[in-house]
Amino acid sequence: MGACGSLKIRVEEMKIAVVQFNPRIGHLKSNVEKIKGFIGRAKEDGADLIVFPELAVTGYHPRDLLFYNAFLDGVEKAVTEDIVPLAEGIVVVVGTPWREKEGDLPRLYNAALVLKDKKIISSHYKILLSGDDVFDEHRYFKPGAKTSLLTLGGKKIAVTIGDDLQLEEHFRQGPGMVINLAASPYHLGRAGERAEMFRSLAMEKEVCLFYVNQVGGNDELIFDGSCVACSESAKVFHQVEPFRETLLYCKVDNFDLEIIGVEEDFPSLRTRNYLQEEDVNWVYAALQRGLADYLKKTGFDKVIIGMSGGIDSAVIAALAVEILGPDKVLSVMMPSRYSTDHSISDSEKLAANLQMENRLIPIEGPFKEFIESLNRGRKAIIDLAEENLQARIRGDILMFISNRESGMVLTTGNKSELAVGYCTLYGDMCGGLAVLADVPKQMVYRLAAYINDLAGKELIPQSIITKPPSAELRPDQFDHDSLPPYEVLDRLVHYYIEKNMHVDEIVAMGFEREQVENIVAKIDRSEYKRFQAAPVLRITSKAFGSGRRIPLARGNFW
């Protein structure tokens, strides 16, 4: 992220508007309205060219909506009737799915359309379709066949989408400028990787480069935006503030970057200057954006959180209160006969700090009734069935409140727990969004510390941060009795899930074989739980969810 400075760009006398755009998937009407708004504003401000990200018209990614002809008809209509007519006195580059008839067969492309004088003057089709991790572009699109240059005011501009930026062919005809439309989701470290890549490309190819990435949360994916304007030889490099819808102007010659923030629906998500270094601060901002957008885009303005007195629910409550305000966050304490006193007192402290409602609903009544019936008159015997039952009673209560009071239950489990199956299906896994389920436990601790730092006070009580984690489903139960220390567990999960390393390779890194085998077996055994998990906000390079597809009925190969 460079300072706003003077940018020397070969493409002279052109004012370019880059839109870090936050679309709503499938909602053509609102996306078109917003696109219209940005074009109107850019025209007023004298921009010559405005660029929207990949698939801006539909949002990235509409997935199987693309199998509905009615949807594709709607897209075509939106583009030709609503957007094309606005291209007057300004050139518009916009990403959209685009059908083209080839013979009798309509083919669908991931396209960048260039609009000028109320016409589509050229179309660029994505060649290198994305197909790894969460991506399925081959499912929908035909790959484009060839690169093509846009000539604008006598200047050669390469219009590229996603990874096509890497294609040598674009540079053969010597463009002075490259525009890259993208929908590249965030994970920790990703913005830095991209910046590195743009810098070397600009220098190697001697082009100035505009990276126009989608921003906002869409289900599990959180797009950071982090749009880039980079001069040739990368002497000037500006990366737009991530996670916010933003309009950036780059003016030619004695160029000043002009950055125009756009109003947010959650004004509490303030612009912050502390995103310089990509670390826990980015994870925090990503989770905020992901949670805020999932709520907004699914139509919820209230959340319900089962409050255990532990760190995971505390961090989620703090995130939710910052987004929605304390009136819209309901904390529910549901102690059982095995709960400790501090689980209540810590929850109360937290609720007081966050000023949220904190409801107390003990589970002893229903638990006793269940046990009497299911144990046929005998007392509790404290086995796995009874442990899970407590978690499920809590799930019932949260879902009851959700149904009656119309709030979304947020699932509180972290990645370390979900990996090894240290969670109850239909119990603490109940909820509409798994906010922390791609956040390893140690990062949860760092988030808690960061939240307190930001607040400048102990928003999350220190006692919550320092006590040993426990599920409190039987007397004196602690995580460390069933699991290795989180320093170890988080690394094992990282190697196995994110790095696709297997037992021998992990053992070779210096871990005990028995421990590695035990954890890998636990991870393998709990695939069935994750299959039924809520959508997981993704902040690492490999989250549970659509980016990781493991068969359930299978045998171990090792």
Task: Name which of residues 109 to 148 contact a second copy (CB under 8 A).
Answer: 129, 131-132, 136, 138-139
Q: Which is nearer to a second copy, 427 or 461 (CB)?
A: 427
Count of alpha carbons within 13 angstroms of residue 27, beta-carbon side? 12
53 DSSP β-pair partners: none
Interactions with a second copy, residue window 264-293 (CB under 8 A): 293
Pick the closest to residue 438 from 198, 154, 168, 217 (CA basis): 217
Instruction: Report if residue 554 touches a second copy, rule: CB under 8 A.
Output: yes
| Distance in Å, CB of 166 to a second copy, minimum | 15
369 binds a second copy (CB under 8 A): yes
Find all residues with CB under 8 Å of 327, minimum gap 6, and list them. 356
**Contact set for a second copy, span 289-348 (CB under 8 A):** 293-294, 297-298
Q: Note whether 74 binds a second copy by CB under 8 A.
A: yes
528 binds a second copy (CB under 8 A): yes
Q: Is 65 in the site for a second copy (CB under 8 A)?
A: yes
Q: Which of 193, 383, 453, 512 binds a second copy (CB under 8 A)?
A: 383
Closest approach, Cβ 53 to a second copy, in A, equals: 16
Q: Does 27 bind a second copy (CB under 8 A)?
A: yes
Helix (H, G, I), strand (E, B) or coil at 203: helix
The nearest distance, CB 208 to a second copy, in angstroms, is 32
Would you call 256 helix, strand, or coil by DSSP? strand
Residue 474 binds a second copy, judged by CB under 8 A: no
3-state secondary structure 357-385: EEEECCCHHHHHHHHHHHCCCCCCCCCHH
**Rounded-to-integer distance, Cα 186 and Cα 244, Å:** 13
Q: Distances in Å between the alpha carbon of 531 and those of 240, 308, 387, 418, 421?
A: 36, 24, 21, 11, 11
* Least Cβ distance, residue 113 to a second copy (angstroms): 19
> Given candidates 112, 115, 183, 534, which one binds a second copy under the rule CB under 8 A?
534
Token reading at 64: 């199987």
Q: How far apart are CA 406 and CA 439, in angstroms?
A: 27
Between 13 and 405, name the residue whose CB sits nearer to a second copy: 405
**In the bound complex, what is the minimum distance in angstroms from residue 426's beta carbon to a second copy?**
4
Residues constituting the chain: 558
Nearest C-alpha neighbor of 161 from the set 180, 138, 187: 180
Q: Does 1 interact with a second copy (rule: CB under 8 A)?
A: no
- Which of 503, 507, 515, 521 touches a second copy (CB under 8 A)? 503
**CB neighbours (10 Å) of residue 360?**
13
Does 28 sit near a second copy (CB under 8 A)?
yes
* Binding residues for a second copy restricted to 213-252, rule: CB under 8 A: 217-219
Nearer to a second copy, 431 or 484 (CB): 431
Could you tell me which stretch among 91-99, 231-239, 361-369, 478-486 binds a second copy (CB under 8 A)? 361-369
Mark the segment that binds a second copy (CB under 8 A) among 113-121, 171-179, 241-249, 423-431.
423-431
Q: How would you list the strands of the sheet with 208-213, edge to edge?
A: 149-152, 155-161, 177-182, 208-213, 228-230, 237-239
Q: Toward a second copy, which CB reaches closer, 260 or 361?
A: 361
